[in-house]
Every structure is written in structure tokens, then in C-alpha cells.
A and B are shown apart, each in its own frame.
Chain A
Amino acid sequence: MSNPAVMKLTSTRVCGRELKIEDNLGEAIHIHLGEIRVDLTVEEFKNLSDKAENVLDQMDSLIPSSKISWRDLNPIFLQNPKNTDILFRLNNVYITKIKLKDILVDSYIKLPFVGKLPVYRSVRYSRIVKALNGIRKDNDDYIQLNELFMSNNERITDNLESIKKNGYPFNKNYIILNKQNMIIDGQHRAACLYHLHGSEYEIPVMKWEFDDPVYVYFPPKRGVLEVAFRAYASLVHREFLRLLKVPLTIIRIVKGKKFGKKGEPIKASIQKDTLPNDAVSTLQELINILVNKNIDFIVLDNEFAQNDNKVTLSLLVDKASQLCLKKCMEENGFFGKFAFSTDVEYLYSLERDLIYSNGIINIHVFYQLFCKSMFVNAMVPLEQFINQEAWGTKQYNEHLKCFQVGLSVSIILSIVQSVFFEKRFSSECKVKIIQNLSLLESDLGKKLLYNIFYHFTDRLLVLFREQEFDTIIEEYTSFEDY
């Protein structure tokens, strides 16, 4: 099953494996622990989280300090692998007062020729204080777990507004420091308070202390000598890596000349000046060549577009024709390259779409039907059943003199385009759906839709019937009857 609407709700590490919880819209809530997956209905997941709260309440008795309950802590903090461990190994907890300038956060110093060196510094050097003063890069680049649909910057604004509205500490949620005044939890709040009140402002904080040195994992504040030593070590390390590149590059060049490079685009194997660039200038010529070469392909008509005298043709090509197609493209002056090589990830499959182009005609080649994922910048292959139907229901186009995708799959592709790519239904798509509603409501139509929308299929058909197109995406994301 490859659901194009998977929302990762959270992830952490448990028992040395990744624990990942995700909502597969219309299908199930998945809890992954390493290679194991548990499928839950929304109701089961709701019950599970109620039980988790109940068990954590009982586990409060295992925390050595009675002054702490898990309910006083942010779940984002608690699920961080660094934090739950120390919570159970606490020795002493107390509330004290401290000036904001004395609170330390993880920051860095920039050294000439060395670059950034991580150190603990006063809260005034925090990436969050910098962001509040308009220098946002460090904070924007920082990777952290936020609430859904919340950016790093929005998290700061959210904290600032909360402090302005509710004050600090709100609901006994203190900033937590270790013995050396380093922040364990609450950097956003400390930075916002610093921004509002300045460095001399005194606030109550909660201090956590540990007996066992194993759990005092925070490094001590670095002295000048240590900083100098680390800077020197970093410089030597970097120069060593740079020198190491020389023999590696030589090995790569020698190996490349001898054996060739794997996955090299076909363009590299042809001398550019030998290519007949203008050999194929019309779409029909190209189609005739593909047909004559016995390449098994279907034109995906809803991808068909013509702009500025350049033609873009999207084809679904049989995997078995792959080599034959590459050879044919070489002979006719088309170059192949990966369509999305940098910013789009492919999920569940290593298959990629290819673009062949001779400057006049662009051919977009798919070996299977893909769909843009709803929540991440990634492509997901559509179910095998839909791919099989595309081949099984292909129709001959008298005008193009080749096969094009059949009506049932064509409508499905239009719906996929509207929901996952455009996030709205165009008027052309609405007309197409209304005119072919009986086909979508047939057993085949339902089966095709079910392979994408799962338990939401019946409700989707009702919304199609009632022509409530504008509410479809909202209802789909909030649907919970699965």
C-alpha cells in the first residue's frame, strides 16, 4: 500500500530503533518501531493515548523527586531521547531565582579559519534572541520538532505571545536548568523573557541535580585553553580531510576511465556534435518513430500541453521497453536526465521519471504512475492496481495514431492532480467528474478510488454527487472514520 497522504505526527528513538507515528489519511494510524508496524483505527489510537497518560501518571512514583510530574513537562521535551533518561535519575529538584544573563544556552563562537565551534554561552547569544532581533538564519536552519504546521519562527512568536498574555511561569511550567545553569528545557521562554525585560531581570527557575556523573552529560563551560585546543584540532581535522580528497579524486578518475560511471545519463556516452538535433521536429514524427520501434507506451493525455511551439508529451512506458527507448532517443537526438534530482524525494520506490529533450520536444517518461505526496515534497508511486488498469484499459487515439490512457484512469489522474498537486478542483476537472460520475460509482471506479483514498472513498463519492468540491480537501484531512 502506498498512501499519498501520510502525515508524520512525531518520531523519536526507543530501544535503539526509530519510533515513528503517522496518520495515513483514510487508511490507519501507523506506529512504526524499527521494522515492526502496528495499524490502529483512530478510535484505538485515542484509547491508546488515554492509557499512555494513565500509565505515565502511575510512573510519576518512579521519578526520584516528588516535586516533578510528567504533566508539568512539555511532551516535546519528554520524548527527546536525551531527556526521559535523566528525569528518572534525578537526585534533587528545587526552585531558585536567577538573572537572565546567567542562564547558559548551546550556541557557538565563530573563529577565523576554523568556522563555528559549539559552546555554551549566555542566553543573549541564543539563536532565538537573534531571531527576535531580526537575524533569523540560525533559527530558521535549526532542526527541531515543532507542533504541526508550525515553523521555527512561528514557535518563537507563539512563545512570546503566551508570555505577554499569561506571564511566566504559567501553570507551574518553569524553565529547567542543571547545576551549571545550562538550559535543559525552556530556551524559547528564556529568550523571549530576555527580549522583553533585558539581561538583569530575575526569574524563578527549576534546578535539576544528579548524583550519578553519568547523567550529568552536559559539558562544562569551556575555558579559553579548551576553546583554543578545539579550534586547533578542528583546523587540523579539516585540512586532513581536504588533503585526503586528492588521492580519492585520482582513484575516482582512474576508476571512471577504466569502468565507466554507473547511472551515467545517456548524453555522456555520445559526442554532442554527432547528434542530429533537428531530426525530429513534430510530435507526430516522434510518435511514429516510437510506434515503429515497437516501444510499448501510453500517452497520459491529461499531462499533454503545448507552449511556445515546444511540445511536452507525457508517456507511461512499459518497463521492458526501457532499453529500447533509450537507444531510440539516442538515435534521434534526445538527451535523458533525471527530472527531479535535487528537491523532490521519491518514497517507497527507487523509480524515477525521466525527461528526454531535443530543444523542440520534451518527453516526460514514467515507468509507473506517480502522485505528489500531500504533506511532504515527495513523489509516491500509485498502487500497482491503478498501473495495471492503465495498461488494461488503454484506448487507441486515431488522431495521434497511438494508445492513450483510458477514461477510468484518466479521471483518477485528474482527481489525484486536483487533490494532491493543485489542492483545488479546476472547472474542467469538475465537469469531467460530473459527466463520468456513473463510472466512478461503478465497482471498478470505487476500487480505483479506494487504492488512493481508502475509507474516505464513499464520502468522496457523496461529495462528488452533491458537487461539494470546495469542502473535499478539508473533509479528507479531518476524516477520522477509519
Chain B
Amino acid sequence: MGEKIKNYSKIQIGKEIFDIELNKPHIKGEPYSVHIQNPKFRLEMRDFEFARMAAAIIFARKQLEKLKGNLNE
């Protein structure tokens, strides 16, 4: 398994808390690995795939705000 470099953030969904952490690549020269995990669950993906997912979430929020107005208000 990849070696942890740093914790990026924590997210809470319902009562579950997940860590988002950056890990070294499995093979030198390959993309870094990002884990979304807690003690019972892990979703592992390459750095660019996580960035893509994060960008999709940010874009989806922008779309949602078009539907519902500014969510910060």
C-alpha cells in the first residue's frame, strides 16, 4: 500500500468522517495516490482523477447555485 505523505482534509457525510490523504505512488514516476478513507472504508484514486472529481464537485455546486441561488446566504 502507498506511503502516506500528508493529510489534505477531513470530510463529514452523515455521522461518518473521512480523511483525504496524499500517498506516494505505488511505482516511482507514476501519479501520486489519493485516499478517501476511514477505518472501515477506502476509495483510492490517482492524483489527477481526484482533481477531476474535485473539479466536478465544484462545478456541480456552481450549477446548483444557478438552481437555488447562493448557498452561502
Residues of A within 8 A of B (CB): 7, 9-15, 19, 21, 23, 29, 31, 33, 38, 40, 42, 44-49, 51-56, 58-59, 62, 70, 75-76, 78-79, 81, 84-85, 87-88, 147-149, 477-480
Give 1 or 0 for each of B30-73: 1 = CB within 8 Å of chain A CB.
01100000000001010111111111111111111011110110
Most-contacted residue by chain A among B11, B31, B55, B71 (CB, 10 A):
B55
B8-A55 in contact (CB<8A): yes
Report the minimal beta-carbon distance from A10 to chain B, rounded to whole angstroms: 5
Task: Name the one of A59, A70, A477 contacting B67, with C-beta atoms under 8 angstroms.
Answer: A477
A14-B9 in contact (CB<8A): no
Residues of B within 8 A of A (CB): 8-14, 20, 22, 31-32, 43, 45, 47-64, 66-69, 71-72
A76-B59 in contact (CB<8A): yes
Task: Name the one of A40, A78, A148 contacting B63, with C-beta atoms under 8 angstroms.
Answer: A148
When distances are taken between beta carbons in the complex, the residues of chain A under 8 Å from B50 are: 55, 59
B48-A23 in contact (CB<8A): no
Q: How far is the CA of A52 from the CA of B60 in the complex (A)?
A: 12
B47-A10 in contact (CB<8A): no
Q: Can you list 7 A-B pairs, Cβ within 8 angstroms, ordered by A?
A: A10-B63, A14-B45, A14-B53, A21-B57, A45-B60, A47-B11, A48-B13
Task: Name the one of A15, A38, A40 contacting B49, with C-beta atoms under 8 angstroms.
Answer: A15
Specify the main secondary structure of chain B where it touches its partner: helix
A19-B13 in contact (CB<8A): no
Task: Name the one of A31, A58, A477 contacting B68, with C-beta atoms under 8 angstroms.
Answer: A477
Report the minimal beta-carbon distance from A5 to chain B, rounded to whole angstroms: 11
Q: How far is the CA of A47 from the CA of B43 in the complex (A)?
A: 19
A81-B52 in contact (CB<8A): yes
Most-contacted residue by chain A among B10, B14, B57, B66 (CB, 10 A):
B57
Q: How far is the CA of A56 from the CA of B9 in the complex (A)?
A: 11
Task: Name the one of B13, B55, B64, B67 contacting A79, with C-beta atoms under 8 angstroms.
Answer: B55
Known contacts A19-B53, A78-B52, A78-B55; A478/B60 CB under 8 A: no
Report the minimal beta-carbon distance from A97 to chain B, rounded to whole angstroms: 29
Q: How far is the CA of A23 from the CA of B45 in the complex (A)?
A: 25
When distances are taken between beta carbons in the complex, the residues of chain B under 8 Å from A58 are: 8
Q: How far is the CA of A40 from the CA of B16 in the complex (A)?
A: 12
Task: Name the one of A15, A21, A40, A44 contacting B56, with C-beta atoms under 8 angstroms.
Answer: A21
Task: Name the one of B14, B54, B61, B62 contacting A55, with C-beta atoms under 8 angstroms.
Answer: B54
B12-A480 in contact (CB<8A): no
When distances are taken between beta carbons in the complex, the residues of chain B under 8 Å from A46 are: 61, 71-72
A88-B51 in contact (CB<8A): yes
Known contacts A21-B60, A79-B55; A51/B11 CB under 8 A: yes
When distances are taken between beta carbons in the complex, the residues of chain A under 8 Å from B72 are: 46
Listed from nearest, the 4 A-B pairs whose CB atoms lie closest are: A78-B55, A75-B59, A49-B61, A9-B60
Q: Which residue of B lies closest to A43 (CB)?
A: B71
Task: Name the one of A13, A45, A479 contacting B61, with C-beta atoms under 8 angstroms.
Answer: A45
Q: How far is the CA of A147 from the CA of B11 in the complex (A)?
A: 26
Given A47-B11, A51-B9, A55-B50, 11 more pairs with CB closer than 8 A: A12-B53, A23-B64, A44-B12, A53-B58, A56-B51, A59-B51, A59-B54, A70-B55, A75-B55, A76-B59, A79-B59
Q: How far is the CA of A7 from the CA of B63 in the complex (A)?
A: 10
B60-A12 in contact (CB<8A): no
When distances are taken between beta carbons in the complex, the residues of chain B under 8 Å from A70 are: 51, 55
When distances are taken between beta carbons in the complex, the residues of chain B under 8 Å from A19 are: 52-53, 56
Known contacts A14-B53, A52-B57, A79-B55; A29/B64 CB under 8 A: yes
Q: How far is the CA of A452 from the CA of B66 in the complex (A)?
A: 23
Report the minimal beta-carbon distance from B14 to chain A, rounded to whole angstroms: 8
A147-B64 in contact (CB<8A): no
Q: How far is the CA of A479 from the CA of B49 in the complex (A)?
A: 32
When distances are taken between beta carbons in the complex, the residues of chain B under 8 Å from A76 are: 59
B52-A62 in contact (CB<8A): no
Task: Name the one of B12, B60, B68 contacting A49, with C-beta atoms under 8 angstroms.
Answer: B60
When distances are taken between beta carbons in the complex, the residues of chain A under 8 Å from B56 are: 10-12, 14, 19, 21, 75, 79
Q: Which residue of B lies closest to A78 (CB)?
A: B55
When distances are taken between beta carbons in the complex, the residues of chain A under 8 Å from B47 are: 59, 62, 88
When distances are taken between beta carbons in the complex, the residues of chain B under 8 Å from A49 are: 57-58, 60-61
Report the minimal beta-carbon distance from A64 to chain B, rounded to whole angstroms: 12
Q: How far is the CA of A76 from the CA of B60 in the complex (A)?
A: 10
Q: Which residue of B lies closest to A480 (CB)?
A: B68
Most-contacted residue by chain A among B8, B11, B56, B63 (CB, 10 A):
B56
